């Protein structure tokens, strides 16, 4: 599991970072020709969006692993806290720095309340610390016994 997760993270980060850099570097030109000069965002907004893309791909990989080992409580708690922080940060920042404040608020809330806690849990999982207690593990006989179906 460790090897597969590591390979997935490495490949995802490579391709997403490559695409994010392309958008950050050439996005203004592409948007200018695609949607016109009025739609061209600032350099800061494009670079923040590129960072956001890399961040989302990272937290998505974490979420995939945590879901696979049924650690949904961690994901749910992180998502709820991150959403609340996102609203607070985004409202505060949009009033001070404009539109980019929403993206900065979202990025900061994801970094603090999704990426970091989920990474701690992912590391626990990869060290094998997510498994149920030994006495909760079914025996071989219990696994081989056919399930009892209740007929109503």
Spatial separation of the C-alpha atoms in residues 94 and 90, rounded to whole Å: 6
The CA angle 57-59-61, to the nearest 5 degrees, is 70
Spatial separation of the C-alpha atoms in residues 122 and 66, rounded to whole Å: 7
Around 2, how many Cα atoms within 13 Å sit in the side-chain half-sphere?
7
Spatial separation of the C-alpha atoms in residues 128 and 143, rounded to whole Å: 21
* Domain spans, the chain: 2-129
Which tens digit of pLDDT belongs to each residue from 45-99?
Answer: 999 999 999 999 999 999 999 998 888 888 899 999 999 999 999 999 999 999 9
- The predicted model scores a pTM of 0.76
Give yes or no for a contact between 81 and 113, defined as CB atoms under 8 angstroms apart: yes
Tell me the C-alpha to C-alpha distance, in Å, between residue 91 and each of 46, 86, 95, 102, 107: 20, 8, 6, 7, 13
Give yes or no for a contact between 58 and 17, defined as CB atoms under 8 angstroms apart: no
Which tens digit of pLDDT belongs to each residue from 117-150?
Answer: 999 999 999 988 766 555 556 667 766 776 665 5
Least confident of 19-23, 68-72, 101-105: 68-72
């Amino acid at each position: 599991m460790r090897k597969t997760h590591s390979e997935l993270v490495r490949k995802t980060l490579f391709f997403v970072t490559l695409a994010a850099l392309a958008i950050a570097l050439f996005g203004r030109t592409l948007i200018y020709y695609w949607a016109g000069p009025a739609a061209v965002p600032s350099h800061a907004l494009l670079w923040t969006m590129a960072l956001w893309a890399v961040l989302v791909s990272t937290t998505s990989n974490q979420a995939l692993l945590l879901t696979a080992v049924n650690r949904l409580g961690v994901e749910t708690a992180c998502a709820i806290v991150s959403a609340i922080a996102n609203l607070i940060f985004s409202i505060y920042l949009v009033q001070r720095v404009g539109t980019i404040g929403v993206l900065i608020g979202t990025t900061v809330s994801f970094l603090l309340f999704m990426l970091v806690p989920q990474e701690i849990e992912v590391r626990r999982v990869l060290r094998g610390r997510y498994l149920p207690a030994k006495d909760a593990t079914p025996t071989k006989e219990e696994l081989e016994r056919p399930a009892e179906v209740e007929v109503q």
